[in-house]
A = this chain, B = another copy of it.
Amino acid sequence: MKIVQVTDEVSLKRDLDAGTSEQREAVEKIIQDVREKGDAALLSYTEKFDGATLDSLLVEKAEVNAAYEQIDPGVLNAIRAAIVNIHDFHQRQVQQSWMTTKEDGTILGQKVTPLDSVGLYVPGGKAAYPSSIMMNVIPAQVAGVKQITIVSPPQKDGSIPASVLVTANELGITTIYKVGGAQAVAALAYGTETIQAVDKITGPGNIYVALAKRAVFGRVDIDMIAGPSEIVVLADENANARYIAADLLSQAEHDERASAVLVTPSQDLADEVKAEVIRQLETLPKREIAQASIQDYGAIYVTKDLEEAVNVTNELAPEHLEILTEDAMSLVGRIRHAGAIFVGPYSSEPVGDYFAGPNHVLPTNGTARFSSPLSVDDFVKKSSVISYSKQAMKQNGASISALARLEGLEAHARAIDIRLEDE
């Protein structure tokens, strides 16, 4: 892990994987096939890519019941507690419709309406994270989305991991289809005999899923295309180096391209954290991944003071930011760009990944400059409401048609004039 005296520009930006032209063509073909052949295409691709021969795409109630047998009761309780916390946090994001009235009788407003339907992509195999299901489904449910569909690629024996089925069931989601990849995204965007088309597709996936989401975007909405995960720890000399090293490694184990960075004015802390990272790496099951990430995308930036450390942090605009300084909370107001801010020594990043309540789907790759965590807002849309009164029209009509004519839009002006003439 390199220790760097900050001098010039710093950045977490990595090139997004745009796929090869072969991959993009393969995805286009799959989408076309699903549009033309529907379920038959889904079953055939599932056989080809997942090695599973299915009679039916839909997960049966009996499979869900069987899944409960495989889940440790302690884990089940943890899932239930997490759901309560996540639900509670997102409930606070709910925006109400509002209306305002004017003395001339005009009514203006903003109507908030949940999306009709959402599809959630859940990756297969080792990346089938129950926490992703909670983090995507709960804001949609809180928003009031009525139809929520989960798609996930089956294992070779045609099954879906027990943790996925149990988590979905705990959330009350019963519509789960055994299909993954670009074919699942195509099915959610266009619909098939079995799978109903939805208005928005969210959830992580491999490059084929990402390319398929890009391809159907516009027809349906999608969530952000996430880059590799990132953590920045902003710490002073009082921070615990062991905690920091552990937290940096918790990001690094995700992906060789994940980025774990410490920013500190303390050279001593920098040295300690470096040593701790090396020590803790030794016994990690995902040592190789974490080591590659630390080597290629990890860094310790030593700054001349805390002020500069805050500036560097803002330049990095990280997905996850931990602040481990004296009076950490007082720095929150100076953080302009971060997906989630973890304050103080007990706010280890995994607390937010699983349990505290805020969403773990966060802007990566420097996009925290302009993007927000996944939220209830992502599952509603707004409509403006304008009820103009006769009096308001009489009073303001001439101004409105003057503005229309300024822009050379005579038919706009006449739509106003025709009403004024009637008075």
Contact = CB atoms under 8 A, between A and B. Distances in A.
A388 B419 contact: no
A411 B252 contact: yes
Contacts of A418: 242-243, 246
A412 interface: yes
Contacts of A385: 332, 340-341, 343, 358
Contacts of A249: 411, 414-415
A106 B346 CA distance: 10
Interface in A85-134: 89, 92-93, 95, 98, 100, 106-108, 110-111, 113, 115-116, 126, 129-131
A130 to B, nearest CB: 7
Contact of A388 (B108, B116, B351, B412): B351
Contacts of A218: 16, 365, 367
Interface stretch (A29-37, A53-61, A373-381): A373-381
B381 A372 contact: yes
B386 A353 contact: no
Interface residues of A, number: 120
Contacts of A335: 111, 383
A119 to B, nearest CB: 12
Given A93-B110, A383-B341, A396 B332 contact: no
A347 interface: yes
A311 interface: no
Given A221-B371, A384-B340, A355 B400 contact: yes
SS class, residues of chain A in contact with chain B:
mixed
A336 interface: yes
Interface string A339-360: 1111111111111111111110
Given A95-B95, A113-B337, A250-B415, 10 more contacts: A78-B403, A79-B403, A82-B403, A92-B100, A111-B335, A115-B370, A243-B415, A340-B383, A352-B384, A355-B399
14 contacts: A75-B402, A77-B399, A78-B402, A82-B399, A111-B335, A130-B406, A163-B407, A243-B419, A246-B418, A285-B410, A286-B409, A350-B404, A352-B384, A373-B383
Interface of A: 16, 72, 74-75, 77-79, 81-82, 89, 92-93, 95, 98, 100, 106-108, 110-111, 113, 115-116, 126, 129-131, 163, 199-200, 218, 220-221, 242-243, 246-247, 249-250, 252-254, 280, 284-286, 290, 328-329, 332, 335-359, 362-363, 365, 367-373, 375, 377, 381-390, 392-393, 396, 398-404, 406-416, 418-419
